[in-house]
Chains A and B, each alone.
Chain A
Amino acid sequence: MLETIQDIWKERKLLIVLAKSDFKKKFVGSFFGVFWMFMQPIVNIMIYYLVFQVGFKSNPVKDMPYVLWLMPGIFPWFFFNDALQNGVLTLNSYQHLVKKMVFRLDILPMIKVLSSLFLHFIFLYITVAVYLLFGEGPSLWWLQGIYYLLCNILLIIGLTYLTAALNVFMKDTSQIVNICLQFGFWLAPIMWDESIMPAVLRPFLKVNPFTYIVNGFRDSFVFHVGFWDRPGESMVFWLVTLIILLGGVKLYKRMEPHFADML
């Protein structure tokens, strides 16, 4: 773990260059380029808006537009979803670096995480801009978003290292990850409020680390509640996340000597 952190620090410049180019690569060859990057999430939000607010008339928070409630919840998910979908394929997409160049392999998954993070930053700016546009805030509570962003990043890093390493040996991993992401989206209280869940089931919800992140972002932007007000949930989250992070990086390091042989 320590070694990986050192490597990442040593190669930080290279990492930024590679992450930038990874980010660009998603749009290389498409005519509208960056346009698509925004199109997909905006279309998604429009659909959810039409279905949930216009269709089902759901309005989780009184006297606040649905979009303002949705954005802090759904953008972290887009980041999580995007980073994992690409992250699980890290080693396959960087085969040329694994097999033909001398390279600190343990920084590879970070490329995908950073490359997704760039986009996420843009969406966080958009969130802030839309809030200001609707005349909400600015508020000091928004800064708490930085803490939850950090939580999200660490969770993503752990899962990316874990799944990227596994995918080299089991090609099925990427399929499994995709299915889990589909489920994950609806199992975490992103589109619905926790209050509609029967009280018996709620503890199970808390085990999902992403619940903590969604609720956290909403706490910061909508409800103005601090993470220190949720000590139990914070502890569960950090326990689960640290296990995933340490386990993921450890597995990755353990399998690293095999990568060049396997790809």
Chain B
Amino acid sequence: MEAIRVENVTKVYRLYDKPIDRLKESVSLTHKIYHRPFYALRNISFQVEQGETVGIIGTNGSGKSTILKIITGVLKPTEGDVEVRGKVSALLELGAGFDMDYTGVENIYMNGSVMGFSREEMDHKLQEILEFADIGDFVYQPVKTYSSGMLVRLAFSLAISVEPEILIIDEALAVGDAFFQAKCFHKLEEIKKKGTTILFVSHDIVSVKKLCARAVWIEKGILQEVGEAKEVCEKYLSMQIRKQNEELAQLVEQISVENTTGDVRMGEKAVFHAIREKDAIEKSGTLDGEILSFYIRNGQGEEVSVLEVEKEYTFGLLTKFHRDLNNVLFGFEMENLRGVKLFSINNFLTDQVLKEVHAGEYIEASFAIRLPRICRGEYLISPSLAEGTQESHVVLERLHNYLKITVDNGGYNLSIIDLDTKADFMRYREEDLSLL
């Protein structure tokens, strides 16, 4: 049975230049229009079955929270219908529905009565709530003194304590510390087993994949995809990667590419270091192809993790394919610790696309690079394997921030890139010089 049905929901925000215009429009006898429309959601439809756990993903400002608020009933849709069957408990943003001047315990009772529980019923729940929130004597302090972590602890404990049939969680958990997050996810699994419908919004793809069976992807207010969580998340991730690549591709366009085809030579006997602790690495992809090894070697063929600028290095991947594939892309990206991407290299950009590979094949791809004069420090490298073109591809496997390397630069290191240049001086006499 359906627990939630969202049908053709459109939410238009009216943007007014001045707050008073809103009042003028509402009471205007001539129905004069003072606003400009802004579409936060356009024609969104999806269903959530009873007992299902569904994730809603999308970039910031895509309308995820808006659709949740509409489902919860805090906001009204401009058009369309929302049908919700069952008692809803929602954790919208931080400190949902808390009165900042009251203590934690007082807020528990207040929230309880707003949700329709008597004082006696809340008395029974109190102990459980306090135990789960685990914020000690702070529960007797006004909520305004809480840290954001404590707020979310209390809010989450409260939201689950009322035994909702539908639990809605918006992003909030990200604030808690790792320990509490783990506890929450454990609790969510438990609630899930009891048959509670859970709607979970996050841009943390890892937890959506872990927790949810299905996912809804909304982008700029438009429904992109509804389906199996893993699949939707993959598509979402590769959209993000594609977007980043598009930005990079514009820069790359100016670079002339010499090679035209990629041909594969036959290798001799070889030894590689397998990818370390593969399970611990954040990875994504369909896994039709797999990265077995990634290395950086210096001119002498030794594997290194400390690199010097203006020296030659070979970056390479060893891969295995589980399916016949066309147009395979091997590559990697390098970013600094602040997440600024320095470069991204793959065999599409070098115009050496592998037309086809076969199931069971092992292929090594390596790129010879002269390390540019980048600032000294630590950098992260993410190797990836994909199928398709630069503009549109499916990620087979991507090991996010797999390798940390140290770059050594004897120069000044004032900026990301050190340029190699020389100054030139000229001296003039005043009579020789005319300034226009």
Contacts and interface: CB of A to CB of B under 8 A. Distances in A.
9 contacts: A25-B101, A29-B142, A96-B99, A97-B114, A100-B92, A101-B111, A102-B74, A257-B76, A261-B14
Given A21-B106, A25-B99, A28-B101, 17 more contacts: A13-B113, A14-B113, A14-B116, A18-B113, A18-B114, A21-B110, A29-B142, A100-B74, A100-B97, A101-B96, A101-B97, A101-B111, A102-B74, A169-B19, A169-B23, A260-B69, A261-B75
Contact of B74 (A25, A29, A99, A255): A99
A224 to B, nearest CB: 44
A28 B106 CA distance: 12
B22 interface: yes
Interface residues of A, number: 26
Interface of A: prevailing SS = helix
A254 B113 contact: no
A261 B13 contact: yes
Contact of A96 (B20, B69, B98, B113): B98
Contacts of A262: 19, 22
A2 B75 CA distance: 23
Given A101-B96, A169-B20, A260 B74 contact: yes
A97 B23 contact: no
B11 to A, nearest CB: 10
Interface centre among B90, B92, B100, B113 (most CB of A within 10 A): B113
Contacts of A25: 99, 101-102
Contacts of A100: 74, 90, 92-93, 96-97
Interface in A206-263: 251, 254-255, 257-258, 260-262
Contacts of B75: 260-261
Nearest to A17: B113
B433 interface: no
Given A14-B113, A101-B114, A255 B88 contact: no
Contact of A103 (B22, B92, B98, B114): B114
B389 interface: no
A13 B142 CA distance: 25
B22 A169 contact: yes
B26 interface: yes
B121 to A, nearest CB: 13
Interface in A90-113: 96-97, 99-103
B271 interface: no
A257 B70 CA distance: 12
For the complex of A and B, list the 6 residue pairs with the smallest distance between their C-beta atoms, beginning with the closest. A169-B23, A101-B97, A102-B73, A17-B113, A100-B97, A100-B96
B426 to A, nearest CB: 64
A18 B93 CA distance: 23
Contacts of B10: none
B333 to A, nearest CB: 40
Contacts of A17: 110, 113
A103 B90 CA distance: 13
A29 B26 contact: no
Interface in B95-152: 95-102, 106, 110-111, 113-114, 116, 142
Nearest to B115: A101
B27 A170 contact: no
A166 interface: yes
A13 B72 CA distance: 22
Nearest to B21: A169
Given A96-B97, A261-B13, A170 B74 contact: no
Given A96-B97, A102-B73, A255 B113 contact: no
Contacts of A103: 114
A162 B95 CA distance: 29
A215 B229 CA distance: 71
A103 B114 CA distance: 8
Contacts of A13: 113
A254 B102 contact: no
A262 B18 CA distance: 11
Contacts of A21: 102, 106, 110
Contacts of A261: 13-14, 75
Contacts of B142: 29
B399 to A, nearest CB: 40
A102 B72 contact: yes
Contacts of A254: 26-27
A97 B96 CA distance: 9
